Amino acid sequence: AQSVTQLDSQVPVFEEAPVELRCNYSSSVSVYLFWYVQYPNQGLQLLLKYLSGSTLVKGINGFEAEFNKSQTSFHLRKPSVHISDTAEYFCAVSEDYGGSQGNLIFGKGTKLSVKP
């Protein structure tokens, strides 16, 4: 069965520093990968997704993620964070059943706290 592990529950970082939020998954078939962001008291918003092709995916707000099939990882990065990036970030995976798509499985989330 598929699963998603976000290795850090909380990541504190200073403003303008780089950040990496780690995500590993397990699955016996091909997968689609997503990162969502949740600002306080709001719903989830898509940051970026990997479907196929280039393993480096760029998203909104300067975030990017790299799909590494051999390490079954999909880590999220930003070279310079802002106070406004303070939020909870969720990695999610769904399995590819030869074109159709399984339900999303979410990690437990990583709270990014950007300090001035």
Applying CB under 8 A, the residues found at the interface with another protein are: 4, 9, 32, 34, 36, 41-46, 49, 51-52, 90, 94, 96-97, 99-101, 103-104, 106-109
* Beta carbons within 8 Å of 69's beta carbon, 6+ residues apart: 55
Q: How far is the CB of 77 from another protein (least distance, A)?
A: 20
In this complex, which beta carbon is closest to another protein, that of residue 12 or of residue 79?
12
In this complex, which beta carbon is closest to another protein, that of residue 15 or of residue 27?
27
Q: Compute φ and ψ for 65, nearest 5 degrees.
A: -145, 150
Q: How far is the CB of 116 from another protein (least distance, A)?
A: 26
Give the angle 91-73-85 at the CA atoms, nearest 5°: 40
The answer to whether 16 touches 38, Cβ cutoff 8 Å, is: no
**Which two three-digit tokens encode residue 46?**
């898509």
Q: How far is the CB of 8 from another protein (least distance, A)?
A: 12
